[in-house]
Amino acid sequence: MLNITKRFPGIIANDNITLQLKKGEIHALLGENGAGKSTLMSVLFGLYQPEEGTIKKDGQVVRIKDPNDANDLGIGMVHQHFKLVECFTILDNIILGVEPCKHGFLQKAEARKKVLELSEKYGLKVEPDALVEDVTVGMQQRTEILKMLYRDNEILIFDEPTAVLTPQEIEELMQIMRNLAAEGKSILFISHKLNEIMEVADRCSVLRKGKYIGTVNIADTSKEELSRMMVGRDVEFQVHKEPAQPKDVILEVKDLRVASKSHNNDAVKGVSFQVRAGEIVCVAGIDGNGQTELVYGLTGLEPIKGGSIFLEGKDISNASIRKRSTMGVSHIPEDRHKHGLVLDYTLEDNMVLQRYFEPQFVNSAGFLKRGEIRKYANRLIEQYDVRSGQGPITVARAMSGGNQQKAIVAREIDKDPELLIAVQPTRGLDVGAIEYIHRQIVAQRDAGKGVLLVSLELDEVMALSDRILVMYEGEIVGELDPKTTTVEEMGLYMAGAKRKGA
């Protein structure tokens, strides 16, 4: 890609960027949230047209007008937010657009055979007949990779492929990428996670604020060097915090049961625990062991089947979502698009989603005070460094994933809650933003709030939590102290190989 420039209203997303990919290499693309990485890959995949610059493949200049052109050139892409049809089966999603037909009839048998062969060959385990809406995020991602392999793509773009995976799935994905590269496929790999880049990439190109900073060989660099190139300063990888001083109980959960959507058993089976003021309690576990349903039950997104929830001694088991919110519960949700933002609203409207009815933002006649809302949004944008092309009037959909996440964190923490429920709060964020959000969460704890953290990142669990609760198959199987436990011991509890008292 030579001298690529791409502009959006109020922002130059790619400013004269040149990038070279060799055959059979894994080339990482690193940069802060909003540095222009996804935009550059979307140009290569034909989703955007650059204002300037050319793309060459095998030495020949090519025009990529849309993703079909990209596919014809052997370029495939797995997007950060998957592009799957939820009510189709996995097999139907893989062959969508290149369906094998004879005399106008679908020939699914041979397609299934090819898909099963590919899944066997690359270790991408999928159930071809399962509906996408019923399978785990990890399996959805394997479906996306099989889509590329089914089309015989030779340049594979992975946009933040590990943002939604468990540690075990990440390990599998790394192995799959190595196997693909060993076969001569060329991989472009967008990531924020420095240890993954160090582990799997051959070379790494760094972008900062839309500009190209440089390309380095992974063998000759370090995590610290990469983070300096990416953020322009030294980054603290350690979380600094004083020992916790827990006080009164903020959240008490007794014998909570929440039904499962995908099968007849309960997803949460009689869970009891407490969160006190001034401590961070972390729920750890492999994805799909009831953490999501536990949070849905606590925040009111799903009705509970049994048990009770007390906030500062008041029973909120059946309270509405707004009631819980006004009583002092803040929620940074797992899925920022589904439950965190209204994507077609502006940033300023998203900032007051749970507070627009307060006297600060609405007058006695019920009309919104637009000036106040903008002033408030501007303060949060400034304070939390939320970057967007047009400031408070930017439509949320147009922002990068990491900046969408920062906007949600700003809104939820600024409500000054008694209890902060943070689910995967740093998913898809760069090291600079992670450092900032970790500091914010510790500051909430030190201000005497209760924090319930749900995370799949074991490093984050160990660094932030004061107590760790491990969930396995809907039950809490262990309570660990991060100061005395190890990642290995936590792994045994997470896999169900060890239980408290056992």
**Helix, strand, or coil (residue 57):** strand
Sheet of 2-8, strand order: 11-17, 2-8, 52-57, 60-62
Give the phi and the psi of residue 34 in degrees, each rounded to 5. Answer: 80, 15
Percent of the chain residues past pLDDT 70, beyond the cut? 97
Classify domain 236-328+418-502 by CATH number: 3.40.50.300
pLDDT at 498 over 80: no
> Among 70, 69, 119, 66, which residue's Cα sits nearest to residue 94?
119
Element (H, E) at 423: strand 419-423
pLDDT in tens, 91-102: 898 888 888 888
Mean pLDDT value across the chain: 88
pLDDT at 409 over 60: yes
Cβ burial of 369 (10 Å; 0-12, 13-18, 19+) is: middle
Does domain 2-231 fall under CATH 3.40.50.300? My reply is yes
Longest alpha-carbon distance in the chain: 73
Cβ burial of 82 (10 Å; 0-12, 13-18, 19+) is: middle
Pairing of strands 26-31, 203-208: parallel
pLDDT in tens, 326-381: 999 999 998 888 889 999 999 999 999 999 999 999 999 999 999 999 999 999 99
Predicted local confidence at residue 220, as pLDDT:
93
Predicted local confidence at residue 106, as pLDDT:
82
Pairing of strands 26-31, 52-57: unpaired
Indicate the residue type of 319: A
Same fold, 2-231 and 236-328+418-502: yes
Looking at per-residue pLDDT, the higher value among 118 and 239 belongs to 118
The sign of the torsion formed by the CA atoms of 333, 336, 339, 340 equals positive
Indicate the residue type of 202: D
Annotated domain spans of the chain: 2-231, 236-328+418-502, 339-416
Question: Mean pLDDT over residues 209-238, rounded?
Answer: 85
Cβ atoms of residues 145 and 78 within 8 Å: yes
pLDDT in tens, 150-204: 888 899 998 887 766 667 778 888 888 898 899 899 999 988 788 889 999 999 9
Predicted local confidence at residue 502, as pLDDT:
54
Predicted local confidence at residue 343, as pLDDT:
93
Number of H helices, E strands in the chain: 16, 22
> Among 39, 16, 19, 15, which residue's Cα sits nearest to residue 28?
19
